[in-house]
Chain A
Amino acid sequence: MFIDITNHLITWLILFGFFALSSRGLGTLGEVLRSTGMFLLEKALGPAIDFAEGKPGSAARTWIVLSSLWLFVSVCFTFLGIWVGHDQYALISLTGWGYSPSSSTLIAAGTAVGLYGSVAMAVIGASLHVFPSLCGTPGGLPSERNGTLVAVPWTLGVIILFIAAHNPDPFGIDITLAAIATMGLAYSAIAVNLLIAFADRTQSPREPGWLLILAIVAGPVSVLVEFLMGDTNPIAEPWIVLKLYGAPFFLWSVSALALYSAALGSRSPLWSRTLSGTVLVGLVITTSAYQSLDGGLFSSLITQNASIPDVSDSSRMFGTFLVALSLAPMLALSANIIATIRTSGKSPEITNGMAILVASSFSLVLLWFLNYSLRSPSFVGFQTYEPLLETVELMTMWLFMIPMSMGIVLHLYPTITNRTLPAPERTRQGYWMFVTAVSAGLLCTFISESISLSVTEIDIEATSSLAERFAVIGSVLFYGAVVAVTLHTLNIVRGLFHGKILQNTSQSSRRIESYTINSSTSIRSILAAGADVETVLVPASDTDVPGAPTEL
């Protein structure tokens, strides 16, 4: 049996064990990991490693730029998929070239590229920069060259996945597995690189860092548990690969990076430590059930024909309870990001990604309710809202996953590339266009499909022209996202060459340990004096010694 309560419990136990052991330092294991890992990452690759440059930040930059390019491909194919949904002969003229995709094929291709090309590459690129910073790893990422080099097999995997979305077995064999294996190779190297950074840490990575490292570790742990506990054969059951790239990898890491970006981008400390803890524990406990009970966004992508396995009633109850409980970490994540960004008292800046982080945090809660209400019948075996789920998945991706990753990229871009984006106005236009186009376009598509479903269910002969009108409006509006992503990608690419070079002030402007307040003082003047969130404010009265002259 695929899903089993025991498997979940063992997975959590191993993750908790990893957390408990590593929070005290990896000890001897760290030494072994460091030497073996560095050998695997650099020397074992032989001359191939010399193809990549090892400048600081080069790995993160490579992954993030590639993620922006994939985003453009993704939005184009998703738009075409939505269009062909109401105009099935739109691309009929391409049949002469042997290309006649259906709407679901185009959407699957766009979604696969969007998730594994854009979101995953943005997440990995950002992690390669953020995680060593959070850990205070001396020298940053242990192997920049390997981090840069493995972007190649991952990109190759995404290309194969893109082809597989059109035709999974062009040569009589399932090439999806080849894509997963290629990406798995890159994933292993990234995991080792980050684990070495973790082993070399000089400080606790705090909640976002813990969530990030657990996101990297959870996939392999989950796969290991499946092998140990069951008679799973990954060749016969490709569904297991979802364990590797499922909810932990995408959801946990995006959440961790969004928390990091919200705090540093708004220059405000995270609003609530309790909420950060709730996100960390809540996501680990509850969302691991997503991929077991109903894969949803993740299961329908890389294994389109895979069926969700039969599960026992007790497992269904257990899983349904966990999925319902996952509202708590979602609310905590959303509230923490929004409150942190709003703490600064200003409107969220669009140019550094804060505004899009707020927008996607708002949509996260709405999307959770939409997902839960429409998916809950399928938890107990009914396919009531099955036709609507494809649009719900699109909404989850284009209103949460992709905007979050865009916000993270916009925030980290200047730090990683050491350059600013060349056209802030273009970023603002892109933001408004993207948010409006995606929300309005997909809402219209959703309304159209709801009308069609209602008409079908009541089994009447009448055809609804209203559904078709909404479908056309939805697809035209969604085209705004294509324009917005074009602006975003152009900005990212041009920024590499034309962005204003930033002065490196990270260490030179540091700052005072304590600040004595003698009289009423504005916070601005305290900050201008070089204080930061760690500076201790000391009232003048505390420095007075009774009987001694007043200190000036």
Chain B
Amino acid sequence: MSVVFLADSAADIDVFLQADAEPESSWVFLALGIIIALLSLTIYSIIFPGQNLPVISDLDTFGSLKGQVWLFILGMLVGGLMILSTLLTEVTRE
């Protein structure tokens, strides 16, 4: 089997180099937002080296969950009971 390579032609320019659609505007804003955020972080670290970010650094991401492992254990127990009850009810179902 051979692979056919086609030479570029002038007709291709109109076909391939002309975009015929735009990405959804939400994606444009998302990309712009990420770029601006990264730029801001970089500029901040240059202007105020070694300093915490205002507001954001004061947020305690998941720190307030410390000591709350029982919430998670409760979830695990619910999951385990769902599996167990499924097994029991399905096996004993007539």
Q: Which residues of A contact B (CB under 8 A)?
A: 69, 72, 76, 79-80, 83-84, 86-87, 90-91, 469, 472-473, 476, 479, 482-483, 486, 489-490, 493-494, 496-498
Q: How far is the CB of A299 from chain B (nearest CB, A)?
A: 29
Distance of A80 Cα from B75 Cα, bound (Å): 12
Q: Is B37 an interface residue (CB 8 A)?
A: no
Distance of A84 Cα from B73 Cα, bound (Å): 12
Nearest chain B residue, comparing its CB with the CB of A493: B86
* Secondary structure type dominating chain A contacts: helix
- Are B76 and A90 interface neighbours, CB within 8 A? no
A-B contact count (CB 8 A): 56
- Are A83 and B72 interface neighbours, CB within 8 A? yes
- Are A486 and B66 interface neighbours, CB within 8 A? no
Which B53-94 residues sit within 8 Å CB-CB of chain A?
Answer: 61-63, 65-67, 69, 72-73, 75-76, 79-80, 82-83, 86-87, 90, 93
- Are A483 and B86 interface neighbours, CB within 8 A? no
Distance of A186 Cα from B61 Cα, bound (Å): 48
Q: How far is the CB of B45 from chain A (nearest CB, A)?
A: 15
Distance of A493 Cα from B63 Cα, bound (Å): 36
- Are A483 and B61 interface neighbours, CB within 8 A? no
- Are A72 and B83 interface neighbours, CB within 8 A? yes
Which residues of A lie under 8 Å from residue B69 when comparing CB positions? 80, 83-84, 87, 90-91
Q: How far is the CB of B94 from chain A (nearest CB, A)?
A: 12
Distance of A189 Cα from B60 Cα, bound (Å): 55
Nearest chain B residue, comparing its CB with the CB of A90: B69
Q: How far is the CB of A149 from chain B (nearest CB, A)?
A: 19
Contact flag A72-B80 (CB < 8 Å), given A83-B72, A490-B86: yes
Q: How many residues of B contact A (CB 8 A)?
A: 19
Q: Which residues of B contact A (CB under 8 A)?
A: 61-63, 65-67, 69, 72-73, 75-76, 79-80, 82-83, 86-87, 90, 93
Q: Known pairs A72-B79, A80-B73, A498-B90. 11 more at Cβ < 8 A?
A: A69-B83, A76-B80, A80-B69, A87-B69, A90-B69, A479-B72, A482-B72, A486-B82, A490-B86, A493-B83, A497-B90
Distance of A472 Cα from B93 Cα, bound (Å): 43
Distance of A166 Cα from B94 Cα, bound (Å): 40
- Are B62 and A473 interface neighbours, CB within 8 A? yes
Distance of A229 Cα from B5 Cα, bound (Å): 62
Distance of A496 Cα from B62 Cα, bound (Å): 39
- Are A473 and B61 interface neighbours, CB within 8 A? yes
Contact flag A489-B83 (CB < 8 Å), given A76-B76, A79-B72, A496-B90: yes
- Are B79 and A87 interface neighbours, CB within 8 A? no
- Are B62 and A476 interface neighbours, CB within 8 A? yes
Which residues of A lie under 8 Å from residue B66 when comparing CB positions? 86-87, 472
- Are A87 and B86 interface neighbours, CB within 8 A? no
Which residues of B lie under 8 Å from residue A90 when comparing CB positions? 67, 69
